[in-house]
Structure 1
Amino acid sequence: MNTWSTFPERAGTVVVGAGCVGCSAAYHLAESGREDVVVLDRGPLFETGGSTSHAPGLVFQTAGNKLMTEMASYTRDLYDGFGDFRTCGGIEVAYTEDRWDFLKRKREWGQSYGIDEGQLLTPEEVESRVPQINADVIYGGYYVPSDGKADAVSAAESMAEEAREAGVEFYGHTEVTDIDTTDGSVDAVETEHGRIEADEVLVATNIWGPLFGEMVGTDIPLVPCAHQYLVSDELDELEGAEREIEQPLLRHQDHSLYYRQHGERYGIGSYNHESLLVDPADIYGPDKLDDLGLEYPSLREFTEEHFYENTHPDHDRSAFDAASELVPGFEDCEWTSAINGMFSFTPDGMPILGPDEDTEGLWWALAVWVTQSGGAGDIVASWMEDGTPRLDGSRVNASGAHVSRFQSHTGSREYTYGRGAQQYREVYQLVHPREQPDGQRALRRSPFYDRQADLGAEFYDSDGWEVPQWYESNETLLETYDVPDRPDWLSQNWSKVQGAEHQHLREKVGMVDMTTFTPIEVSGPGALEFLQGLLTNDMDVTPGRMRYSAMLNEDGGVLADLTVARLGDERFVLFTGGGSSATLHSRWVTEHAPDDGSVDVTAHVSSRTGIGVFGPDSRKVLSDLVEADLSNDEFPFYSAQETYLGSIPVTMLRLSYAGELGWEIYAPTEYGSQLWDAIREAGEEYDIAPVGWAALDSTSMEKGFRLWGTDLTPEHNPYEAGIGFAADLDTDFVGKAALVADKNDDSPSDRIVPITLDEEEAVVDAGHPVFVDDEVVGYCCRADYGYTIDAGIAYAYLPEEYASSGQDVEIRYEGDAHPATVRSGPLFDPDRDKMIR
Structure 2
Amino acid sequence: MNTGSTLPERADTVIVGAGCVGCSAAYHLAEMGREDVVVVDRGPLFETGGSTSHAPGLVFQTTGNKLMANMASYTRDLYDSFGDFRTCGGVEVAYTEDRWAFLKRKREWGRSFGLEGGELLSAEEVVAEVPQVDEDAILGGYYLPSDGKADAISASASMAEYARDRGVEFYGNTEVTDIETSGGSVDAVATENGRIEADDVLVATNIWGPLLGDVVDTDIPLVPCAHQYLVSDEIDALEGAEREVEQPLLRHQDHSLYFRQHGERYGIGSYNHAPLLVEPEDIYGPERLDDLGLEYPSLREFTEEHFYENTHPDHDRTAYDAASELVPALGDCEWTSQINGMFSFTPDGMPILGPDEGTDGLWWALAIWVTQSGGAGSIVAEWMEHGTPRLDGDAVDATGAHISRFQPHTGSHEYTYGRGAQQYQEVYQLIHPREQPRSQRDLRRGPFYHRQAELGAEFYDSDGWEVPQWYEVNEGLLGEYDVPDRPEWLARNWSKAHGAEHQHLREKVGMVDMTTFTPIEVEGSGAEAFLQGLLTNDVDVTSGRMRYSAMLDEDGGVLADLTVARFADDRYVLFTGGGSSATLHSRWITEHAPDDGSVDVTVHDSSRTGIGVFGPDSRNVLVDLVEADLSNDAFPFYSAQETYLGSIPVTMLRLSYAGELGWEIYAPTEYGGRLWEAIADAGEAYDIAPVGWEALDSTSMEKGFRLWGTDITPEYNPYEAGIGFAVDLDTDFVGKDALLDAREDGIEEQIVPITLDEEGTVIDAGHPILVDDEVVAYACRADYGYSIDAGIAYAYLPTEYTDVGRSVEIEYEGERYDATVRSGPLFDPEREKLLR
User: How high is the TM-score relative to the length of structure 2?
Assistant: 0.99
Structure 1 Cα separation of the partners of residues 197 and 301 of structure 2? 39
- 2:613 matches 1:619: no
Aligned partner letter, 1:813: Y
Is the deviation greater in 4-13 or in 303-312? 4-13
The answer as to whether partners of 2:3 and 2:172 remain within 8 angstroms in 1 is: no
Structure 1 Cα separation of the partners of residues 528 and 286 of structure 2? 56
- 2:538 matches 1:538: yes
Residue 770 (structure 2) aligns with:
771
Structure 2 Cα separation of the partners of residues 397 and 804 of structure 1? 27
Helix, strand or coil for the counterpart of 1:11?
Answer: strand
Structure 2 Cα separation of the partners of residues 503 and 63 of structure 1? 35
CA displacement at 1:647 relative to structure 2: 0.4
Structure 2 Cα separation of the partners of residues 29 and 135 of structure 1? 48
Structure 2 Cα separation of the partners of residues 284 and 33 of structure 1? 37
Structure 1 Cα separation of the partners of residues 779 and 835 of structure 2? 31
The answer as to whether partners of 2:180 and 2:190 remain within 8 angstroms in 1 is: yes
Residue 158 (structure 1) aligns with:
158
Q: How does 1:135-146 map to 2 (within 5 A)?
A: 135-146=135-146
Residue 30 (structure 1) aligns with:
30
- 2:494 matches 1:494: yes
Structure 2 Cα separation of the partners of residues 690 and 677 of structure 1? 12
Structure 1 Cα separation of the partners of residues 815 and 264 of structure 2? 40
Residue 374 (structure 2) aligns with:
374
The answer as to whether partners of 1:42 and 1:173 remain within 8 angstroms in 2 is: yes
Aligned partner letter, 1:106: K
CA displacement at 1:804 relative to structure 2: 1.0
The answer as to whether partners of 1:434 and 1:493 remain within 8 angstroms in 2 is: yes
Structure 2 Cα separation of the partners of residues 158 and 522 of structure 1? 49
Unaligned runs of 5+ in 2: none
Structure 1 Cα separation of the partners of residues 778 and 827 of structure 2? 22
Residue 825 (structure 1) aligns with:
824
Helix, strand or coil for the counterpart of 1:743?
Answer: helix
Helix, strand or coil for the counterpart of 2:572?
Answer: strand
How many correspondences in the alignment? 836
Helix, strand or coil for the counterpart of 2:628?
Answer: coil
Aligned partner letter, 2:32: S
Structure 1 Cα separation of the partners of residues 28 and 267 of structure 2? 32
Residue 182 (structure 1) aligns with:
182
Residue 628 (structure 1) aligns with:
628
Aligned partner letter, 2:613: V
- 2:797 matches 1:793: no
CA displacement at 1:289 relative to structure 2: 5.1
CA displacement at 1:476 relative to structure 2: 1.0
CA displacement at 1:117 relative to structure 2: 1.1
Q: How does 1:662-741 map to 2 (within 5 A)?
A: 662-741=662-741
Q: Deviations over 1:176-208 (max 9, x none)?
A: 000000011100011001110000110000000
Residue 605 (structure 1) aligns with:
605
Helix, strand or coil for the counterpart of 1:809?
Answer: strand
Helix, strand or coil for the counterpart of 2:835?
Answer: coil
Q: How does 1:200-219 map to 2 (within 5 A)?
A: 200-219=200-219
Seen in structure 2, the aligned counterparts of structure 1 residues 516 and 451 have a Cα distance that, compared at 3 Å, is same
Aligned partner letter, 1:219: D
Structure 2 Cα separation of the partners of residues 784 and 137 of structure 1? 36
Aligned partner letter, 1:647: S
Aligned partner letter, 1:808: S
Q: Deviations over 1:255-281 (max 9, x none)?
A: 000000000000000000000000000
CA displacement at 1:244 relative to structure 2: 1.2
- 2:240 matches 1:240: yes
Helix, strand or coil for the counterpart of 1:337?
Answer: strand
Structure 2 Cα separation of the partners of residues 28 and 607 of structure 1? 43
Unaligned runs of 5+ in 1: none
Q: Deviations over 1:644-678 (max 9, x none)?
A: 00000000000000000000000000000000000
Structure 2 Cα separation of the partners of residues 193 and 399 of structure 1? 36
CA displacement at 1:7 relative to structure 2: 1.5
Seen in structure 2, the aligned counterparts of structure 1 residues 723 and 25 have a Cα distance that, compared at 3 Å, is same
Structure 1 Cα separation of the partners of residues 502 and 239 of structure 2? 62
Residue 760 (structure 1) aligns with:
759
Q: Deviations over 1:737-792 (max 9, x none)?
A: 0000000004x611000000001200000000000000000000000000000000
Helix, strand or coil for the counterpart of 1:428?
Answer: coil
Structure 2 Cα separation of the partners of residues 291 and 661 of structure 1? 72
The answer as to whether partners of 1:208 and 1:284 remain within 8 angstroms in 2 is: no
Helix, strand or coil for the counterpart of 1:658?
Answer: coil
Structure 2 Cα separation of the partners of residues 354 and 20 of structure 1? 17
Structure 2 Cα separation of the partners of residues 810 and 170 of structure 1? 52
Structure 2 Cα separation of the partners of residues 130 and 293 of structure 1? 34
Aligned partner letter, 1:300: R
Residue 149 (structure 1) aligns with:
149
Q: Deviations over 1:214-260 (max 9, x none)?
A: 00000000000000000000000111112412100000000000000
Q: Deviations over 1:490-534 (max 9, x none)?
A: 001110001000000000000000000000000000000000000
Q: How does 1:538-617 map to 2 (within 5 A)?
A: 538-617=538-617
Aligned partner letter, 1:73: S
The answer as to whether partners of 1:258 and 1:269 remain within 8 angstroms in 2 is: yes
Aligned partner letter, 2:244: E
The answer as to whether partners of 1:283 and 1:289 remain within 8 angstroms in 2 is: no
Q: How does 1:215-364 map to 2 (within 5 A)?
A: 215-283=215-283, 285=285, 291-364=291-364
Residue 392 (structure 1) aligns with:
392
Q: How does 1:33-112 map to 2 (within 5 A)?
A: 33-112=33-112
The answer as to whether partners of 2:94 and 2:252 remain within 8 angstroms in 1 is: yes
CA displacement at 1:293 relative to structure 2: 2.9
Aligned partner letter, 1:809: V
> Root-mean-square deviation (CA), in Å?
0.8
Structure 1 Cα separation of the partners of residues 135 and 331 of structure 2? 16
Seen in structure 2, the aligned counterparts of structure 1 residues 475 and 85 have a Cα distance that, compared at 3 Å, is same
- 2:461 matches 1:422: no
Q: Deviations over 1:90-146 (max 9, x none)?
A: 000000000000000000000000112100000010000100010111110000000
User: How high is the TM-score relative to the length of structure 1?
Assistant: 0.99
Q: Deviations over 1:6-65 (max 9, x none)?
A: 421100010000000000000000011112100000000000000000000000000121
Query: Percent identity at matched positions?
Result: 82
Helix, strand or coil for the counterpart of 1:198?
Answer: strand
- 2:744 matches 1:744: yes
Helix, strand or coil for the counterpart of 2:225?
Answer: strand
